[in-house]
Structure 1
Amino acid sequence: MTAGGTSRPTLLLVHGAWHGSWCWERLTPVLRADGWNTRAVDLPSAGSQAGVRDDARVVLDELARTDGPVVVVAHSYGGVPVTQAVAEAAEAAEVVHVVYLAAYQLDIGESLLGHHGAPVPSEPDGFQAVPDRPVPLFYADAPAADAEAATGRLVPQSTRSFSDTLTAAGWHTVPSTYVVCEQDQALPPHHQEELAARAGSVHRIASGHSPFLSMPGEFAALLAKIASESAG
């Protein structure tokens, strides 16, 4: 399969906090119908006390199992372990691009809580409960049935994952694109714009926090455009 005359990269999809690989279920059939290979991981910090390093290791392991070029797509919190993992992958994997979807494109020494000016929690081994009213927060523009179904699959998130700091940042050496979700109620667009200043290019989509659920066709087309351009 080719894109721009070269091998199409595999799309590695990395979910955000409280979620799992299930959140891509509306998106992946659209991408595969267009000829894209996709893979997805389940981050252990969703449902256990794992931290950023544990999540990054899962991403690294999946990269090691994937042949050929890879575009990593990180959603929300997923941007944190992806940033660490891509830096650590170095020669071990052919990561050609990172897409930050309403994601935390943090730098060395930063954490998710630190980005928001929040203190380190006194009980780092606890959990962050699923937010109240997750439908308007995460899925405001998604079909009601899909939003309710997704809400039922959310799990508590490791507190440690929000306070762990990065020791490396892959976007310094690997090209990146930021996708701003303009109607996002979980990570407001002005926060996204600040983070997007670190990316090599920026796209915007008129969606809430989860375009893979609310507009999978439009988001798949945007990913295909970004991935094709990254391939040459």
Structure 2
Amino acid sequence: MNDVILIHGAWAGAWVWDALAPLLRRQGFRPHALNLPGNGHGTGTPEQADFADCVACVETALDQLDGPTFLVAHSGGGVIATQAAENRPDRIAGVAYVAGMMLPTGTGFADLTRHLVQRNPAAAGIGPHLIWDEARRYSEVPPASARDIFFQDVDDTPAWAAARQLTPQPEGVRAGVAHWTAERFGTLPRLYVEALRDRSVILAAQRWMQQQVPGAEVATLDTGHAPQLASPAELGEILGSFFHRVSTHDKACPLHGPL
């Protein structure tokens, strides 16, 4: 039975995986949803937590599990998953990105956003709606903006519940940049689950990342930014199928191409 570490994105917490986790268990996997440092659920404060803390959190979880483990990362959690996979490829069975930031080495999501927003203002996503502390050490998302940008296709009651559960996000984490190599991260099986109606990481951004970091299998869901809330059963089937293929040695092609 394979273990699966679930890595949430910015402003969220382990709770974002609550609907998906039991579906993975029914398929024979052991999900472990992390609360990353600084988001109000785990250790640290929004003022203190940084990218390295979150990567260390994933590595600590890996060390507590037996055998190669799958990483599943949503949104900004993708950068953390990439760095953890680069640091500990021997502990990773594969990496799945759910509308996640699967970025070229040394590239931040802000770099991509600046490039795309010149042609498509929607690429700014949640950025214009954020509320910052005085020193810009952390940001918050107004619930109405979260409902519209993150959860527009989720039923009303759970969408508002999720929007109101978001917590301050450390900018030291959100601005993190992964540095990886083809010899380590690039050898791992990968899956990219794209969300066609995403208003946060828009489809053009998702497709650009797939082109720039080739070698991942691709699955498509007709959802907004949070498929694990909008369509957990479909997402669970996609992830379970990927895990089973990798576990039976039908692995995705290793990465090749420009870094």
TM range, normalised to the smaller chain? 0.7 to 0.9
Taking the aligned partners of 2:231 and 2:177, their CA distance within structure 1 comes to: 32
> Gaps (5+ residues) in structure 2?
41-45, 116-133, 249-259
Per the alignment, residue 232 of structure 2 pairs with 216
Taking the aligned partners of 1:208 and 1:186, their CA distance within structure 2 comes to: 8
CA RMSD of aligned residues (A): 2.0
Task: Kindly report which structure 2 residues correspond to 1:146-165, keeping only aligned pairs within 5 A, or say none.
Answer: 146-165=158-177
Per the alignment, residue 5 of structure 1 pairs with none
Work out which of the residue numbers 168, 171, 179 in structure 2 matches 1:167.
Answer: 179
Contact 2:6-2:32 within 8 A present in 1 as well: yes
Per the alignment, residue 113 of structure 1 pairs with 110
Q: After TM superposition, what 4+ stretches of structure 1 lie above 6 angstroms from structure 2?
A: none
Task: Kindly report which structure 2 residues correspond to 1:19-38, keeping only aligned pairs within 5 A, or say none.
Answer: 19-38=12-31
> Gaps (5+ residues) in structure 1?
1-7
Letter in 1 for 2:76: Y
Per the alignment, residue 66 of structure 1 pairs with 65
Is the counterpart of residue 139 in structure 1 residue 139 in structure 2?
no
Per the alignment, residue 228 of structure 1 pairs with 244
Q: How many residues align?
A: 220
Work out which of the residue numbers 138, 143, 146 in structure 2 matches 1:127.
Answer: 138
Three-state SS of the structure 1 residue aligned to 2:234 is: helix
Contact 2:89-2:185 within 8 A present in 1 as well: no
Letter in 2 for 1:164: G
Letter in 1 for 2:96: V
Letter in 2 for 1:75: H
Identity of aligned residues (%): 29
- Write out per-residue CA displacement over residues 115-146 of structure 1, whole angstroms, 9 at most, x where no aligned residue: 3238xxxx876112215510121111111111
Taking the aligned partners of 2:216 and 2:177, their CA distance within structure 1 comes to: 23
Per the alignment, residue 3 of structure 1 pairs with none
Letter in 1 for 2:102: Q
Letter in 2 for 1:65: Q
Per the alignment, residue 90 of structure 1 pairs with 89
Letter in 2 for 1:115: L
Is the counterpart of residue 189 in structure 1 residue 182 in structure 2?
no
**What's the CA shift for 1:19?**
0.1
Contact 1:52-1:80 within 8 A present in 2 as well: no
Letter in 2 for 1:229: R
Determine which structure has greater relative contact order: mean sequence separation of CA pairs < 8 Å that are 6+ residues apart, divided by chain length.
Answer: 1
Taking the aligned partners of 2:112 and 2:38, their CA distance within structure 1 comes to: 19
**What's the CA shift for 1:168?**
2.8
Contact 2:11-2:167 within 8 A present in 1 as well: yes
